[in-house]
Amino acid sequence: MKAAREGAVVEVQIASIGAGGEGVGRLSDGLTVFVPESLPEERLKVRLTTVKKSYAVGVPVERLNDSPLRTDPVCPIYPACGGCQLQHLSYAGQLEAKRQQVIDALERIGHLKGLTVHPTLAAVSPWRYRNKVQFPVAKGKGKVLIGCYAKGSHDIIDTNVCHIQKEENDVVVKAARDVVERLRIPPYDEDRHIGVLRHIMGRVGARGDVMVVLVTASKELAREKEIVKLLRAKIPRLVSVQQNIQTYRNNVILGRDTKLLWGKNTILDSIGKLSFHVSARSFFQVNSEQAERLYQKAMDYADLTGRETVIDAYCGTGTISLFLAQRARKVYGIEIVKPSIVDAQKNARDNNIKNVEFIVGDATKVIPRLYREGVRADVVVVDPPRAGCTETVLRTVADMQPQRMVYVSCNPASLARDLAILTELGYKTQEVQPVDMFPQTSHVEVCTKLVKAD
C-alpha cells in the first residue's frame, strides 16, 4: 500500500485502546496503527511517523469526529507530559478501557477465554491520589527543570502542579526547585554523567507528614545543613530529609545506599486499621485508598478461616502479609529488598501481629528452600514486579499444592503469561478483579483468584 510509508497522511478509524493508552486502528490493508490521544469511534487524519512490517505509529493531524467519551484534560501540560495517558477519556471510559485491557491480555497472551472479569473498581477520587512523587532533575535554558519526562523521551517537562499528586507533593517539588536554584546544586546530566542531583522524591503519610529524598549521582552532598534548613522552612509537616546515592550510569531511580540528613528514617502511613512505617527505598502502594480495596479483595479471594499457612511472595513492607495474618494461622512474607523487610518487621510489632515471619531474599530461592524445609502453604499470594513471577517460583508453588492462590499484578501481560503456566500446573483461574489504582494513566492493578483443579 503506497500510503503506508513514513510521513504519509492517512485516514484511520479507531477501534480500541491499547495497553499504553493509545488508540488502535487499522488501514485498509490490515496494518495496525497506534495513534496517541485518540479514542474508539473516532476517525482521524494521521501522519505516519513509524512504519514497520506488522504495525505503524502515527500522530493526529485532524480529528474528523469526537468520541462521546472524549473530555477536556485538566492539566495544561498534558499533551506533552508522559505522566498521564488518559486525561482525554472520561473516567467511566477509563474504567471500561482498563477492564478491556485485562480481558485482551488474558485472551491473546494467556489464551484464557470466558473468564469472569469484573468491572474495574473505581477510585474514590480520580485526582490528587498519589502519595509519592519522584521527578527527574535537569538543567534547562537558564533554569532548573523538575517534572515528568515528555512522552517517548527523556526530555523533562517542567512541572509546578501535578493533578494526580497529593498537594503536599507539589509543595515538595516547589521547595526543592527553590533550594536547588538558591544553593546552585548542579543537576545531573545523564548524557555526560556529570552533576549531582538526579531525582527529587517526596512521600506523604496518612497524617500529612512529608519525607523528602534527594537522589544524587555522588556520595557527597555539599551544604547538607543549609539544604535541610531551607526545606524545613518551606515544607510544613516535614519529618524526614534523606539522601539516596545512585552512582550508576543507568535509568534506575534509587541506589542501594540511603543517608539520613535530618529527622526520621521512615514515614507513617496507614491502610485500613493497620499502620505502616515506610522508608525511602521501600515499596508501598502510591494510592493508599485504593490499596485498601485491593487488599480487601485479596483477603476475600484467600478465603481464610484462621487455620491456614500462607506465603506472601514479593511482600514489600508487609502490607498484604499483615492483612492476611489477621485471619491466618501463620504467614511467611518474602521480599528481596532488605529495608522493606526491616520496615515490615517493625510494622508487625507496631500492629501487634505475631503470627507472621518476614524473610529477606529472592522469592525464586526462598520458596524452594521453604519447601525443602517442609513448609506447605494452604494459600499462596504473589504480588510480583511488572516482569511477573519466574517459572521456578510458579512451579515450586504448584508443588506445594495450595488449595488457593491469589495473584496481584500491575501488568496484565505478565499476569496472563503466568496464569497460562499455572493452568498447565493444575490451577484454574476462577475470577479476576481489575482495580483502578492509577486514574488518568493507562496502568491497571489486577487481583486474581485461582483454585487447585480437581
CATH number for the domain spanning 16: value is 2.40.50.140
Q: Verify that 304 and 183 share a domain, yes or no.
A: no
Which residue out of 81, 148, 410, 447 is catalytically annotated? 410
Q: Do the domain assignments include residue 92?
A: no
Given 271, 296, 327, the domain boundary residue is 271
Percentage of the chain beyond pLDDT 70 is 99
Q: Do the domain assignments include residue 86?
A: no
Q: Verify that 172 and 224 share a domain, yes or no.
A: yes
Alpha-carbon distance 148 to 158, whole Å? Answer: 7
Distances (CA, A) of 235 to 170, 171, 179, 221, 240: 10, 7, 12, 20, 11
CATH of the domain at 212: 2.40.50.1070
CATH of the domain at 403: 3.40.50.150
Q: Verify that 119 and 227 share a domain, yes or no.
A: no
Reference 429, options 447, 411, 414; nearest CA is 447
Question: How many domains are there within the chain?
Answer: 3
Alpha-carbon distance 47 to 7, whole Å? Answer: 6
**Domain containing residue 30:** 9-63
Annotate 33-61 with b (16+ C-beta within 10 A) or e (fewer): bbbbbbbbebebebebeebeeeebbbebe
Q: Verify that 115 and 167 share a domain, yes or no.
A: no
pLDDT in tens, 132-160: 999 999 998 889 999 999 988 989 999 99
Q: Verify that 316 and 350 share a domain, yes or no.
A: yes
Q: Verify that 187 and 251 share a domain, yes or no.
A: yes
Task: Say whether pLDDT at 218 is over 70.
Answer: yes
Q: Do the domain assignments include residue 2?
A: no
Instruction: Please state the rounded mean pLDDT for residues 309-333.
Output: 96
Amino acid at 445: E
Q: Do the domain assignments include residue 73?
A: no
pLDDT at 1: 45
Q: Verify that 143 and 115 share a domain, yes or no.
A: no
Q: Verify that 312 and 382 share a domain, yes or no.
A: yes
Instruction: Please state the rounded mean pLDDT for residues 207-229.
Output: 97
pLDDT in tens, 74-131: 999 999 999 999 999 999 999 999 999 999 999 999 999 999 999 999 999 999 999 9
Given 247, 271, 295, the domain boundary residue is 271
Average pLDDT for the chain: 95
- The helix-helix angle for 167-183 and 224-234 (nearest 10°) equals 140
Sign of the Cα torsion 329, 290, 124, 207 reads positive
Q: Do the domain assignments include residue 361?
A: yes
**What is the largest distance, in Å, between two alpha-carbon atoms of the chain?**
69
Reference 55, options 86, 96, 27; nearest CA is 27
pTM for the predicted model, two decimal places: 0.93
Task: Say whether pLDDT at 219 is over 60.
Answer: yes
Q: Verify that 182 and 46 share a domain, yes or no.
A: no
Residue 239 phi/psi, 5-degree rounding, is: -125, -10
Active-site residue flag, 148: no
Q: Verify that 375 and 420 share a domain, yes or no.
A: yes
Secondary structure (3-state) at 192: coil
Q: Do the domain assignments include residue 93?
A: no
Q: Verify that 49 and 117 share a domain, yes or no.
A: no
Which residues sit opposite 379 in a β-bridge? 310, 404
Q: Do the domain assignments include residue 78?
A: no
Given 221, 236, 271, the domain boundary residue is 271
Q: Verify that 190 and 207 share a domain, yes or no.
A: yes
